[in-house]
A and B are shown apart, each in its own frame.
Chain A
Amino acid sequence: MIDSIDLSLVNWSRGQFALTAFYHWFFVPLTLGITFIIAIMETIYVRTGDESWKKITKFWMTLFGINFAIGVATGLIMEFEFGTNWSNYSWFVGDIFGAPLAIEGIMAFFLESTFIAVMFFGWNKVSKKFHLLSTWLVAFGASLSALWILVANAWMQYPVGMQFNPDTARNEMIRFWDVLFSPVAVNKFLHTISSGYVLASVFVVGVSGWFLLRRRNILFARRSMIVASIFGILSSIHLIATGDGSTRQIARIQPMKLAAIEGLYHGQEGTGLVVFGIMVPSEEDPVNENIKDFVFRIEIPNLLSYMSYGNREAFIPGVIDLLEGSEQRGLLSAAEKIERGKYAREVLRELKEADQNNDLTRYESLKATFMDDQFKNEYFRYFGYGFIDDPDKLIPNVPLSFYSFHFMVALGFYFLLFFILTLIFVYTGSIERRKGFQRLALLTIPLAYLATMLGWTVAEMGRQPWVIQDLMPTFAAVSRLDANTVQVTFWLFLIVFTALLIAEVKIMTKQIKIGPNEGGN
């Protein structure tokens, strides 16, 4: 059945999910970051009693409200897709996904119905301190709300804390804290929310730059820039630090992803970090789209080894090493993993057969096999490889992963420099006459969105062919639907989400043009 799956169905299903995820993510990071910036501004207002800070706070709060309202519930579409388009996957992940998503839903409901209401309706109705507390709770609550979906995503990259039940074909959560506090989940959460904080800081500096270009609301723009650039510098440093943490994790957990994002085919000791490179089809294998050579690259010697293992001479396996394996390096070949995965699939098939034939002795024996630690560690952990017929299919899209990763990293460092310059220019009083920088600030807003989308591209494309690392390939996760139906919903979503995006941009630009003096809620 899996062998005969329609690839156009898989591709359309993936395209549809990517489309909805990207559009959903368009709204999320601004909410994550701008709430903290607003909370800081309101804190200054409460501490100083300066009414101009209240105006500043209310202006950014209005923009947050627009973004929140247009974006709210866009994530629900992905939950629809799990049940319709990804039924094998949804069933297989069992309650690992259900529990975090339920917590997220409950948290979001209470957050939205109480503290956001106080934020918008509570001016002059509740005390200043209670209002401020509500604003901070919205900021922390928004980030905490993101925690749960990121925990679920981290589990897909690094499945832990579960036991596979061969009777139901579901993974059952047996250690909640292992799932919640897996190193991948913690790092992913911190890295992702930091990216939201950076994006929101860029947004605030960029919009403030627009006011300076128009020579309007100068004090408002300068003050907004100070808060956002300081918050942006701290967030950028945290973003870079957690990005470094991701490298160490990927080296151990997803070495193929690391090899792909670095364009590393042949591993070596003392591997350098490619800072910049241009890929061309390989002379060795020009037909294979995933095998490339560098026509040009700038590399920092030994840095990737050091970043990955804290050792300048550490061996980093390349794509070819991971496929061919190496006994000396303790790397299993792809062929061996495929054999082990096929064996695990066969044991599952035989168990089901024994169950259906009421062969209790055989059933109990096979069930015991699934509970056996050696089977779990040496066979079931490669369950997904059993679906793979050609080792080349284990290679993710290398050029896409490589360019997405390097452009994202470059932008991350650019944002840090951008915030530092903003702060310097504001403090030296030169920001108002720097028209070029004000335009640059405005142009940096789409770059921040691009960077965060590239981050997800690296995370999700770099781990292909897996939907659950080593356990389930993406093509085995889809429902057997008609590809034409998926195409129809793809275009439907494109229309609906694009309309929402246009509404967001139009309402927000109108509100920005009105400026901080009018406010509105």
Chain B
Amino acid sequence: MGNNILVRIFNFYYQGFRNMTVGKKLWLIIFIKIFIFFFIIKLLFFPDFLKTKFRTDRERGNYVIEQLTK
């Protein structure tokens, strides 16, 4: 019974994706976009500033306090 429901859910999505028309182009855009965002922009240009400079939260906190009080 449980298996049957899973198969039906799988088929629902499978048939849905197969029968898409405009949607296929849109999914391609989504995948390209996600790739650019996460694998180019995030990795190359957007490291977490405090995480890459400091190892612990205490160090990060001290740095920010230093920034805010000097």
Binding site for B on A (CB under 8 A): 1-3, 62, 65-66, 69-70, 72-73, 76-77, 80-81, 83-85, 87-88, 90-92, 117, 120-122, 125, 166-170, 345-346, 348-349, 352, 476, 479-481, 485, 488-489, 492, 496, 500, 503, 507, 511, 520-521
Contacts and interface: CB of A to CB of B under 8 A. Distances in A.
A77 B45 contact: no
Interface residues of chain A: helix, strand, loop or mixed (majority): helix
Interface in B17-70: 17, 19-23, 25-27, 29-30, 33-34, 36-37, 41-42, 45-51, 57-58, 60-62, 64-70
B68 to A, nearest CB: 6
Given A70-B29, A169-B61, A521-B22, A77 B37 contact: yes
Nearest to A351: B65
B22 A87 contact: no
A81 B26 contact: no
Given A1-B67, A168-B57, A80 B15 contact: no
Given A77-B41, A87-B49, A88-B68, A70 B62 contact: no
A187 to B, nearest CB: 30
A92 B46 contact: no
A95 B60 CA distance: 15
A479 to B, nearest CB: 4
Contacts of B25: 507
Interface of B: 12-13, 15-17, 19-23, 25-27, 29-30, 33-34, 36-37, 41-42, 45-51, 57-58, 60-62, 64-70
Contact of A72 (B30, B45, B51): B30
15 contacts: A69-B26, A69-B27, A73-B33, A77-B41, A92-B64, A166-B65, A169-B64, A170-B61, A345-B68, A348-B69, A352-B66, A476-B67, A507-B25, A520-B21, A521-B23
B14 to A, nearest CB: 10
A507 B28 CA distance: 13
Contacts of B33: 73, 500
Contacts of B17: 121
Given A492-B41, A492-B45, A500-B33, A521 B20 contact: yes
Contact of A121 (B15, B37, B50): B15
A125 B70 CA distance: 64
Nearest to B33: A73
Given A73-B33, A169-B65, A84 B22 contact: no
Contacts of A80: 37, 41-42, 46
Contacts of A72: 30
Nearest to A519: B21
B13 A2 contact: no
Contacts of B64: 87-88, 91-92, 169
A117 B16 contact: yes
Contacts of B61: 91, 167-170
A251 B62 CA distance: 37
Contacts of A3: 70
Nearest to B51: A83
Contacts of A1: 66-67, 70
Given A76-B37, A352-B65, A352-B69, A65 B26 contact: yes
Contacts of B48: 83-84, 87
Contact of B60 (A84, A91, A496, A520): A91
A480 B66 CA distance: 13
Contacts of B19: 121, 521
B16 A485 contact: no
A66 B27 CA distance: 10
Contacts of A170: 61
6 tightest A-B CB contacts, nearest first: A121-B16, A69-B26, A349-B69, A87-B49, A80-B46, A83-B48
Nearest to A352: B65
Contacts of B29: 69-70, 500, 503
Of the candidates A3, A488, A521, the one having the most CB atoms from chain B within 10 angstroms of its own CB is A521
